[in-house]
Amino acid sequence: MSQPETIPVKPEIAANALVDRARYDDMARRAAENPEAFWAEESKRITWMTPPTRIKNVTFTGNVSIKWFEDGVLNASANCLDRHLATRGDQVAIIWEGDDPGEQKHVTYRELHAEVCRMANVLKSLGVRKGDRVTVYMPMIVEAAVAILACARIGAVHSVVFGGFSPDSLANRIQDCDSSILITADEGRRGGRKVPLKANVDAAAKSCPMLKKVVVVKATGGQVDMQDGRDVWYHEAAATMPLDCPPEPMNAEDPLFILYTSGSTGKPKGVLHTTGGYMVWASFTHQYVFDYHDGEVYWCTADVGWVTGHTYIVYGPLANGATTLMFEGIPNYPDTSRFWQVVDKHKVNIFYTAPTAIRALMRDGEGPVKKTSRASLRVLGSVGEPINPEAWLWYYRVVGDQRCPIVDTWWQTETGGILISALPGAIDQKPGSATLPLPGVKPVLVDGDGNVLEGATEGNLCLADSWPGQMRTVYGDHERFIQTYFSTFRGFYFSGDGARRDEDGYYWITGRVDDVINVSGHRMGTAEVESALVAHAKVAEAAVVGFPHDIKGQGIYAYVTLVAGEEPTEELRKELVMWVRKEIGPIAAPDAIQWAPGLPKTRSGKIMRRILRKIAANETDSLGDTSTLADPAVVDDLVRNRMA
Ligand code: WTA
């Protein structure tokens, strides 16, 4: 494909946009020149019980300390609910669209406020206090948002675990944050199938002695076992609860939530976000990146179990008084028109999804899209992984009819919200580029030695200074926080991504430069998949790498060495795939398993992943230097037996 064109901002969009180019330039300049003044002003988008006077207090070196608005007092749920009651109590806050196209719900701000108070009172009655960790393991139903906001209301720290994770993965997360209470549902529903959430909780609970109470929302009415003294039906407990619960005053730096995410080593880490800075960032980015105008219907297709769901289904849109759509289903059920049918049904104006969904839908051609109207659409967004120019242009031409600007938003669980993105009315787009940093964001590209690179170049993507939505620590392990993000390049936050910057200053994210794989926009640590594989009795050793995958972006490729005497059969291959699914969850299932009699190791025993990545990607004519290997013959065998 030829060098993708630039798509200029459309005058009719710029004319009505909250931010046009002149305003963007002005904001970026002011945020750079005087961050304190800029963020003091922006903090006013939040309703404070005590407004902050100290704005920024950050050091990226030594013990690393990040504080924003540190003497401010607020409550996140009050910002999402109470403050809207007077002006938009009867406006729809959440449109819920079921997995079954016949099911939907409209919940107004007043109703959502009442339901959140009720759930908050249930949690209180079960002994939950400010600072306690509450695990939320829910399907995409309104009660998932209610649970999140109920925790925030009473100052409990929520730890949402994606409903697709296995009992083991759930147990690890409950244990890590020592959570004594969990909110779940009987079952989830996705693409016409049931997900046994409560049964998974029962299995996880076996290794979680700290878990004392399980609140169960009746979602499908499926059969579940309730354990006496531990399990509580939400509807029974809620029936007697008052519909009012005063929001707990929280310091800006009090924890709001923990969200576990994969890294290159060890177990997933608990990314900790605090209240004030996160809320300012969620509101600021949601409003400007999507150019959200009052009254619009906004739909982010993520699951609340990921950070995108936290910031751009719940906190950002609700803080801004938006109507946010929550979708229980999947893009291809009942058929591949579903997204666009939902857009037409609810007159969605802003639509935010992942490249993997776009690529999957592209396979079916234009037909399923073009038979819908999509006339309500105004802005399209992309998140989770680099979007290839082909998918970008298809999204633009076919879905958006060349009318809707696309915002390709780069960010991470750790960043709390979007850092690099186009703004619909301000930034000319280039298909495949996340474009420019938001005001107040200072990306830098550095080489392997930590030298800052100037101009058009490529390097490791770091942030030179803090922004309010930045994570504050790894829960319970500040040392790991420093090691992971601040030790590779001194004085910078290191994202783990690589990027190119072109002559216009536009950023092109090239993907992870560490041992993290991005599968369909979901982060997976290679170490996690490896440790699941070696936990199988027949596996002696395993090495896992990512490889290019047409739909998923990256697939999981595993090299497996069997215990001596075990036969490498097709059956065992299938068994190992199922094993990893069961150990971690379906998203971790390897796409390819290659039997490896030996792995390429240096003389000191370190696996040379660079070589394994090349073989998996079928780039075997550029393996590079293999002379440092203990046994170079291993490589020949792996190349010969590569999985097609
Ligand atoms: C990748 C999801 C390119 C990146 C919000 C990052 C992207 C990781 C983009 C974070 C994008 C996310 N272009 N790559 N627009 N958005 N990524 O923590 O590698 O689940 O480091 O947060 O996804 O994934 P996470």
- In DSSP notation, 190-253 reads ETTEEE-HHHHHHHHHTT-TT--EEEEE-SS-------TTTEEEHHHHHHT--S--PPPPEETT
**Was 411 annotated as part of a binding site?**
yes
Nearest CA to ligand 1 atom 3: 386
Q: Name the 3-class secondary structure at 122.
A: helix
| Confidence grade of residue 265 (pLDDT, cut at 50, 70, 90) | confident
**Was 384 annotated as part of a binding site?**
yes
Residue 644 in domain: no
The per-residue pLDDT for range 328-359, each reduced to its tens digit, is 999 999 999 999 999 999 999 999 999 999 99
Question: What are the angstrom distances between the C-alpha of 257 and each of 16, 50, 271, 501, 573?
Answer: 35, 21, 8, 33, 39
- Of all residues in the chain, the percent with pLDDT exceeding 90 is 94
242 and 297 housed in the same domain: yes
Residue 508 in domain: no
525 and 494 housed in the same domain: no
Question: Best mutation site among 523, 524, 587 for ligand 1, i.e. most ligand atoms within 8 A of its Cβ?
Answer: 523
385 lines ligand 1 (CB under 6 A): yes
Residue 513 in domain: no
What ranges make up the beta strands (E) of 479-552?
493-501, 507-512, 516-519, 522-525, 539-549
186 and 284 housed in the same domain: yes
542 Cβ neighbours under 8 A, 6+ residues apart: 529, 530, 533, 534, 558, 559, 560, 561
Dist. CA 494 → ligand 1 center (Å) = 13
Dist. CA 638 → ligand 1 center (Å) = 31
472 and 399 housed in the same domain: yes
483 and 575 housed in the same domain: no
Dist. CA 70 → ligand 1 center (Å) = 28
Residue 512 in domain: no
Q: Which residues constitute the domain of residue 599? A: 519-639
pLDDT at 3: 53
Q: Name the 3-class secondary structure at 314.
A: helix
Q: How many residues does the chain have?
A: 644
The per-residue pLDDT for range 278-323, each reduced to its tens digit, is 999 999 999 999 999 999 999 999 999 999 999 999 999 999 999 9
Dist. CA 435 → ligand 1 center (Å) = 14
Phi-psi domain of 589 (left: phi exceeds 0; alpha: psi -120 through 50; beta: other): beta
Which CATH number fits the domain that encloses residue 150? 3.40.50.12780
179 and 299 housed in the same domain: yes
Q: How far apart are CA 154 and CA 127, in angstroms?
A: 11
Residue 632 burial (C-beta neighbours within 10 Å; 0-12, 13-18, 19+): exposed
Diameter over CA atoms, the chain:
73
Mean pLDDT of 523-543: 95
552 and 464 housed in the same domain: no
Residue 510 in domain: no
Last residue of a domain, one of 465, 498, 531: 498
Which CATH number fits the domain that encloses residue 563? 3.30.300.30
Mean pLDDT of 397-409: 98
Place of tokens 């109207």: 373
Residue 509 in domain: no
Mean pLDDT of 475-483: 98
489 and 614 housed in the same domain: no
133 and 215 housed in the same domain: yes
Question: Does pLDDT of 2 surpass 90?
Answer: no
The rounded mean pLDDT for the chain is 96
Number of folded domains that form the chain: 2
H or E segment to which residue 309 belongs: helix 307-309
pLDDT at 99: 98
Question: Does pLDDT of 644 surpass 80?
Answer: no
Nearest CA to ligand 1 atom 5: 412
pLDDT at 264: 82
| Confidence grade of residue 4 (pLDDT, cut at 50, 70, 90) | low
Residue 321 in domain: yes
Mean pLDDT of 253-269: 93
**Was 497 annotated as part of a binding site?**
yes
The per-residue pLDDT for range 83-136, each reduced to its tens digit, is 999 999 999 999 999 999 999 999 999 999 999 999 999 999 999 999 999 999
Residue 24 in domain: yes
Dist. CA 275 → ligand 1 center (Å) = 22
| CA-511 nearest atom, ligand 1 | 19
Dist. CA 385 → ligand 1 center (Å) = 5
pLDDT at 211: 98
Question: Best mutation site among 304, 509, 517, 552 for ligand 1, i.e. most ligand atoms within 8 A of its Cβ?
Answer: 509
Question: Best mutation site among 310, 385, 514, 522 for ligand 1, i.e. most ligand atoms within 8 A of its Cβ?
Answer: 385
The per-residue pLDDT for range 566-590, each reduced to its tens digit, is 999 999 999 999 999 999 999 999 9
The per-residue pLDDT for range 213-223, each reduced to its tens digit, is 999 999 999 99
474 and 589 housed in the same domain: no
Mean pLDDT of 534-563: 96
- Judge whether 337 and 371 are in contact, CB under 8 Å: yes
353 lines ligand 1 (CB under 6 A): no
Last residue of a domain, one of 498, 531, 552: 498
555 and 472 housed in the same domain: no
- Judge whether 510 and 458 are in contact, CB under 8 Å: yes
459 lines ligand 1 (CB under 6 A): no
Phi, then psi, of 231 in degrees rounded to 5: -95, 140
Q: How far apart are CA 508 and CA 387, in angstroms?
A: 10
210 and 359 housed in the same domain: yes
Mean pLDDT of 357-367: 96
Last residue of a domain, one of 498, 527, 542: 498
- Judge whether 256 and 273 are in contact, CB under 8 Å: yes
Question: Does pLDDT of 1 surpass 50?
Answer: no
